[in-house]
C-alpha cells in the first residue's frame, strides 16, 4: 500500500449523522486535496475546451450497510456514472452489489468543476476518488477499533465487513457508520496496491442500463412537470442575419398556443462565460401546451430577417480581399475553400522551428507536398438540445442535459441577476454530447423564457433547429511538405495548418522531435459561423491528415509504413530534437507494435487492403489497423484492430465500448459527413441530407487491446476518434489506388466515380 496525505480537515471533509436510524454521510471537497506538487504552485495547465479539471465525490452509508455513491460529473455516455463510483468503492472496500449510484446535482460547496469534457474525468479524479474511499474506510476501521479497544492494525475489511484477526468479532459498515462519523479525519491514508484491486479492472454493468433499455425517464426530453409549457425558438435562417419583424397575431390564436415573443439571450452588456457560445442571441419564441401544437405554429409564423452589419463587417473585408464581387458578408463553402487555399501563404505565424528547414528544402533532391481539408461538421447528438426551467421571483430551477453545469450557473447568475444559492441546476443523463453541450445557451434561453412567462417551461429544439444553430466543428486546411535527399532520406518536415476560425495545429506533437529540420506554421480566418469543441478538438482532423501524409511519405521512401513510424519514434526516444515534445515516444511506439502484432501485419490476405494510423491526444495513445475489401465498387470495412494505452482501465467492458464507439464515429465522419453553406444558409437540416454512418457501413469486427502498464488512468473518450480517419484514408488508397485528401471521402455514391 502507498500512504498519501489527505491534506484536508473537518471543514473540507463534511460529515453528517442526520440519516434516519443513524448513518455516515461524507462529502469530500477535493479542491482541498490536490497533489503535493500542485499545492506547491505547480498547477496543471488548463485550456478550454480541452480542459484538465479536479473531480468531486459524495457518499453515504446507511445503517443497513447499503452505500450510496453520488457521481458528480455529467454523464454523456462515457460511463463515468459507473466508473467513478467504482473507484470510490474499491478503496472503501465495499461489496459492489451493495452500492447504489445516483447522479449528484450541481453543488459548488461540495464539488469542484463538475464538467464532462477533455476526456479528463477519470484522470483528474483518480487520486481524489481513491482518497475519498480510503479515508472513509480508515474512519470506519478506527471506529471499530475504538469500540473493541484493539489496535487498528489488527483489523481487516472485505466487502464492507470489518473483522478482528485475533478474535471472532466482526461488524458491518452500517452498524459502525454512526460511530465513524465522530472519528477525526486522518491526516494520511493508505491506498491499495494495484495488485490488490478487486473492483477496478473488472467489468461492471452500466448502472443505468436497465433504465435505458426499459425506457425509464433519464434524459432531458423525458422531463415532465405539472403545468409545464413547451417552448421552441425560431432563429435566423443564415449566419450574419438578425431579427427584423414578425406578424404573430394569427399564430397566437392557433390551438394550444400561449404566447409568441422575442428574447435577447445575451444582451450586449452581459459578461459572458467561455461556455456562452451562440450564433444567434435575438430569437423568436413560441410557447404552447404541447410539442405538436408549437411545431405547427412555428411552421405558420412569418418572420422577416435582415443583415447584421456588425457581424458581416469583417467578412466583407475578407471577401473583397479575396477578389469576390458584391460582398455581402454571408458566407459560402465555395468562398471558404478558396480563401483557405490562399491563407497559408499570406497569414502564417511560425510556431516552432528546429534546425534550418529552409536550407534543407532548398538543398533537397525531392520535395513531397500534399494538402488536406475537411468541412464544418454538426455534432448531431441523438437527443437535440433541450432544457427545463422554472424561474420564480426568487429562485431559478433548471433541469436537463448539460456538460458544464457550473459555468451555466454563473451564466444564469449574470443573466438573471440571481444569487448563486438561489440557482438550482440538476443534471439528466444526456443523449450524446461530443462537445456540443459544453455550450449552454439553450439552458440560458430556457431560463429567460420561463422568467418572462412566470411559468415552468421545457425548451425543445427540433432536429432542424439543432443542426442549423451552429457551434460546429471548424473547417480546416493543412499543407505538409517533406524534403528528401539523394538517398531518399527525410531531411526536413514542414506543416502549415489553419482553419475557420481556428487552427488544428499541435506544433509539439509527433513527428516534432524526430526530425532535425522541422517547421510548424499556423493561421486562422474569421467567420460569422459559431464553432466549438467537437470530439477530440483539432485532433479530429490533424491526426488523419498527418497519418495519411506519413503513409504516402513512407511509400515515396520505399519503407514499410509501420517501420517508418517506429524508426522516427526511436529517434525521438534516443536522440530527441527540441525540448517541448509533448508525447512519450516509448508509449507511442508501444501501441503501434501491439496493433502490428495483434493484426499480424504483413500476413494479411491478398484480398484485403490495410491502412494503419496512430496518434497521441488527451494523454493517451492509440494505434489502429483497418482491413478493407471492395464489393461493387464500394468499400467494406471488415475489421479494425485497436491498441490503446490509457493507463489502468477501470471498467474493461465499458472501455472497450468507448473505443468501439469512437472508432465507428471517426469512420463515419471521415467518409460521409459535411456541413456546407450558401450565402450563410446551412445546406443540411436533417439526416435526409446530412450523412452519418449506417449500420451496414460499420466494421464487421473491432478488436480492442489495452496496454497493461499500471500507469494511472488517462483519457479514453476522445483518443480513439482521431487516428481512425487516417487508417481509413490509407486503406482506401490500398483498395482503390487513389489518395484521398479531402473529407468526406465519399462525396459521391461511388467511391471510384
**The C-alpha cell of 656 is what?**
472497450
| Strand pairing class (99-103; 67-71) | parallel
Q: Mean pLDDT across the stretch 558-566? A: 98
Q: Which helix (H) or strand (E) holds 243?
A: strand 241-247
pLDDT of residue 61: 85
pLDDT of residue 45: 31
Q: What are phi and psi of 66, to 5 degrees?
A: -75, 135
pLDDT per residue as tens digits for the range 122-133: 988 898 889 889
Q: Mean pLDDT across the stretch 165-184? A: 90
For residue 33, pLDDT beyond 50: no
Which are the contacts of 347, defined by CB distance < 8 A and separation ≥ 6? 498, 523, 524, 525
For residue 30, pLDDT beyond 80: no
Q: Mean pLDDT across the stretch 675-701? A: 96
| Backbone CA torsion sign across 35, 36, 39, 45 | negative
Query: Which range among 94-108, 397-411, 584-598 shows the weakest confidence by mean pLDDT?
Result: 94-108
Identify the band that residue 747 occupies on the pLDDT scale cut at 50, 70 and 90: confident
pLDDT of residue 746: 94
pLDDT of residue 81: 95
Which are the contacts of 330, defined by CB distance < 8 A and separation ≥ 6? 238, 239, 240, 241, 307, 312, 315, 528, 679, 680, 681
For residue 10, pLDDT beyond 80: no
For residue 56, pLDDT beyond 50: no
| Whether the domain at 220-308+385-460 and the domain at 475-736 fall into the same CATH topology | yes
Identify the band that residue 181 occupies on the pLDDT scale cut at 50, 70 and 90: confident
pLDDT per residue as tens digits for the range 207-252: 999 999 999 999 999 999 999 999 999 999 999 999 999 999 999 9
Identify the band that residue 590 occupies on the pLDDT scale cut at 50, 70 and 90: very high
Q: Which fold has domain 2-213?
A: Aldehyde Oxidoreductase; domain 4 (3.30.365)
CATH of 220-308+385-460, one of 3.30.365.10, 3.40.1360.10, 3.40.50.1370, 3.40.50.300: 3.30.365.10
The span from the CA of 125 to the CA of 112, in Å, is 11
Summary mean pLDDT of the chain:
90
What percentage of the chain exceeds 70 in pLDDT? 89
pLDDT of residue 58: 63
Identify the band that residue 326 occupies on the pLDDT scale cut at 50, 70 and 90: low
Output the pTM of the full model: 0.92
Q: Mean pLDDT across the stretch 643-651? A: 98
Domain boundaries, the chain: 2-213, 220-308+385-460, 475-736
Is the pLDDT higher at 3 or at 614? 614
For residue 305, pLDDT beyond 90: yes
For residue 20, pLDDT beyond 70: no
Q: What angle do CA 728, 479, 494 make, to 5 degrees?
A: 110
pLDDT of residue 5: 65
Q: Which fold has domain 475-736?
A: Aldehyde Oxidoreductase; domain 4 (3.30.365)
Query: Which range among 126-140, 242-256, 267-281 shows the weakest confidence by mean pLDDT?
Result: 126-140
pLDDT of residue 308: 85
Q: Distance between alpha carbon 213 and the CA centroid of its chain, in Å?
A: 24
Which are the contacts of 717, defined by CB distance < 8 A and separation ≥ 6? 78, 119, 535, 618, 658, 662
DSSP reduced 3-state for 264: strand
User: Which residue pairs from 7-16 have beta carbons closer than 8 angstroms and sit at least 24 positions apart in sequence?
Assistant: 7/32, 7/33, 7/34, 7/39, 8/32, 8/33, 8/185, 9/185, 10/184, 10/185, 13/135, 13/185, 14/110, 15/181, 16/181
Identify the band that residue 16 occupies on the pLDDT scale cut at 50, 70 and 90: very low
Q: Mean pLDDT across the stretch 101-110? A: 84
Q: Mean pLDDT across the stretch 540-563? A: 98
Residue 447 DSSP code: H
Identify the band that residue 629 occupies on the pLDDT scale cut at 50, 70 and 90: very high
For residue 9, pLDDT beyond 80: no
To which residue does cell 420561463 refer? 450
The span from the CA of 584 to the CA of 9, in Å, is 37
What percentage of the chain exceeds 90 in pLDDT? 77
pLDDT of residue 128: 82
For residue 18, pLDDT beyond 70: no
The span from the CA of 163 to the CA of 367, in Å, is 72
pLDDT of residue 44: 31
Q: Determine contact, residues 725/614, Cβ cutoff 8 Å.
A: no
For residue 47, pLDDT beyond 60: no
Sheet strands (E) in 501-648: 518-524, 609-617, 620-631, 634-645
Q: Determine contact, residues 189/195, Cβ cutoff 8 Å.
A: no
For residue 8, pLDDT beyond 60: no
pLDDT per residue as tens digits for the range 189-210: 899 999 999 999 999 999 999 9
Amino acid at each position: 500500500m502507498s500512504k498519501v496525505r489527505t491534506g484536508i480537515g473537518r471543514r473540507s471533509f463534511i460529515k453528517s449523522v442526520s440519516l434516519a436510524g443513524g448513518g455516515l454521510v461524507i462529502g469530500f471537497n477535493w479542491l482541498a486535496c490536490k497533489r503535493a506538487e500542485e499545492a506547491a504552485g505547480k498547477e496543471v495547465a488548463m485550456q478550454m475546451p480541452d480542459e484538465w479539471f479536479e473531480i468531486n465525490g459524495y457518499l453515504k452509508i446507511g445503517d443497513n450497510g447499503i452505500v450510496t455513491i453520488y457521481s458528480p460529473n455529467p454523464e454523456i455516455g462515457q460511463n463515468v456514472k459507473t466508473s467513478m463510483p467504482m473507484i470510490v468503492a474499491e478503496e472503501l472496500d465495499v461489496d459492489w452489489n451493495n452500492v447504489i449510484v445516483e447522479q449528484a446535482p450541481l453543488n459548488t460547496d461540495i464539488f469542484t468543476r463538475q464538467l464532462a469534457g477533455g476526456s479528463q474525468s477519470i484522470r483528474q479524479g483518480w487520486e481524489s476518488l481513491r482518497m475519498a474511499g480510503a479515508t472513509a474506510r480508515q474512519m470506519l476501521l478506527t471506529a471499530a477499533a475504538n469500540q473493541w479497544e484493539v489496535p487498528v492494525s489488527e483489523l481487516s475489511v472485505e466487502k464492507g465487513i470489518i473483522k478482528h484477526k485475533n478474535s471472532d468479532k466482526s461488524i458491518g459498515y452500517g452498524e459502525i457508520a454512526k460511530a465513524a462519523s465522530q472519528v477525526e479525519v486522518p491526516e494520511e491514508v493508505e491506498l491499495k496496491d494495484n495488485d490488490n484491486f478487486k473492483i477496478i479492472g473488472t467489468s461492471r454493468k452500466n448502472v443505468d442500463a436497465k433504465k435505458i433499455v426499459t425506457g425509464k425517464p433519464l434524459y432531458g426530453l423525458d422531463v415532465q412537470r405539472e403545468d409545464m409549457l413547451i417552448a421552441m425558438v425560431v432563429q435566423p435562417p443564415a449566419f450574419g442575419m438578425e431579427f427584423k419583424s414578425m406578424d404573430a397575431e394569427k399564430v397566437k390564436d392557433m390551438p394550444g398556443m400561449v404566447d409568441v415573443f422575442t428574447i435577447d439571450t445575451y444582451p450586449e452588456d452581459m459578461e459572458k462565460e467561455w461556455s456562452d457560445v451562440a450564433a444567434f442571441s435575438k430569437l423568436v419564441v413560441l410557447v404552447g401546451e404541447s410539442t405538436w401544437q408549437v411545431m405547427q405554429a412555428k411552421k405558420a409564423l412569418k418572420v422577416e430577417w435582415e443583415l447584421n452589419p456588425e457581424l458581416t463587417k469583417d467578412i466583407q473585408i475578407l471577401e473583397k480581399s479575396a477578389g469576390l464581387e458584391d460582398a455581402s458578408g454571408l458566407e459560402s463553402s465555395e468562398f471558404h475553400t478558396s480563401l483557405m487555399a490562399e491563407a497559408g501563404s499570406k497569414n502564417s505565424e511560425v510556431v516552432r522551428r528546429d534546425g534550418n528547414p529552409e536550407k534543407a528544402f532548398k538543398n533537397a533532391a525531392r520535395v513531397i507536398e500534399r494538402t488536406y481539408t475537411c468541412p464544418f461538421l454538426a455534432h448531431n447528438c441523438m437527443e437535440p438540445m433541450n432544457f427545463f426551467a422554472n424561474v420564480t421571483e426568487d429562485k431559478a430551477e433548471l433541469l436537463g442535459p448539460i456538460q458544464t453545469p457550473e459555468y451555466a450557473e454563473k451564466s444564469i447568475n449574470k443573466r438573471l441577476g440571481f444569487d448563486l444559492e438561489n440557482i438550482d441546476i440538476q443534471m439528466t443523463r444526456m443523449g450524446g454530447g461530443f462537445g456540443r453541450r459544453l455550450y449552454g445557451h439553450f439552458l440560458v434561453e430556457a431560463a429567460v423564457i420561463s422568467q418572462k412567462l412566470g411559468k415552468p417551461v421545457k425548451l425543445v429544439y427540433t432536429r432542424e433547429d439543432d443542426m442549423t444553430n451552429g457551434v460546429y466543428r471548424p473547417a480546416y486546411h493543412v499543407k505538409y511538405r517533406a524534403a528528401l535527399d539523394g538517398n531518399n532520406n527525410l531531411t526536413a518536415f514542414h506543416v502549415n495548418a489553419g482553419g475557420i476560425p481556428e487552427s488544428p495545429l499541435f506544433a509539439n506533437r509527433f513527428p516534432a522531435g524526430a526530425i532535425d529540420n522541422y517547421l510548424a506554421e499556423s493561421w486562422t480566418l474569421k467567420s460569422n459561423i459559431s464553432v466549438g469543441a467537437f470530439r477530440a478538438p483539432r485532433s479530429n482532423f490533424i491526426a488523419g491528415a498527418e497519418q495519411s501524409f506519413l503513409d504516402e511519405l513512407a511509400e515515396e521512401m520505399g519503407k514499410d509504413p509501420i517501420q517508418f513510424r517506429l524508426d522516427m519514434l526511436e529517434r525521438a526516444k534516443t536522440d530527441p530534437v527540441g525540448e517541448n515534445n509533448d508525447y512519450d515516444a516509448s508509449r507511442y511506439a508501444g501501441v503501434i507494435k501491439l496493433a502490428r502484432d495483434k493484426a499480424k501485419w504483413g500476413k494479411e490476405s491478398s484480398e484485403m487492403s490495410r491502412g494503419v494510423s496512430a496518434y497521441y491526444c488527451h494523454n493517451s495513445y492509440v494505434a489502429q489497423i483497418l482491413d478493407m475489401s471492395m464489393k461493387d465498387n464500394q468499400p467494406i470495412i471488415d475489421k479494425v484492430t485497436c491498441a490503446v494505452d490509457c493507463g489502468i482501465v477501470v471498467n474493461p467492458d465499458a472501455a472497450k465500448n468507448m473505443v468501439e464507439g469512437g472508432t465507428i464515429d471517426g469512420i463515419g465522419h471521415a467518409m460521409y459527413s459535411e456541413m456546407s453553406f450558401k450565402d450563410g444558409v446551412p445546406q443540411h437540416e436533417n439526416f435526409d441530407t446530412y450523412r452519418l454512418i449506417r449500420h451496414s457501413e460499420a466494421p464487421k469486427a473491432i478488436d480492442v487491446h489495452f496496454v497493461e502498464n499500471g500507469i494511472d488512468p488517462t483519457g479514453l473518450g476522445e483518443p480513439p476518434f482521431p487516428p481512425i480517419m487516417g487508417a481509413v484514408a490509407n486503406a482506401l488508397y490500398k483498395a482503390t489506388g487513389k489518395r484521398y485528401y479531402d473529407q468526406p471521402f465519399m462525396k459521391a455514391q461511388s467511391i471510384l466515380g
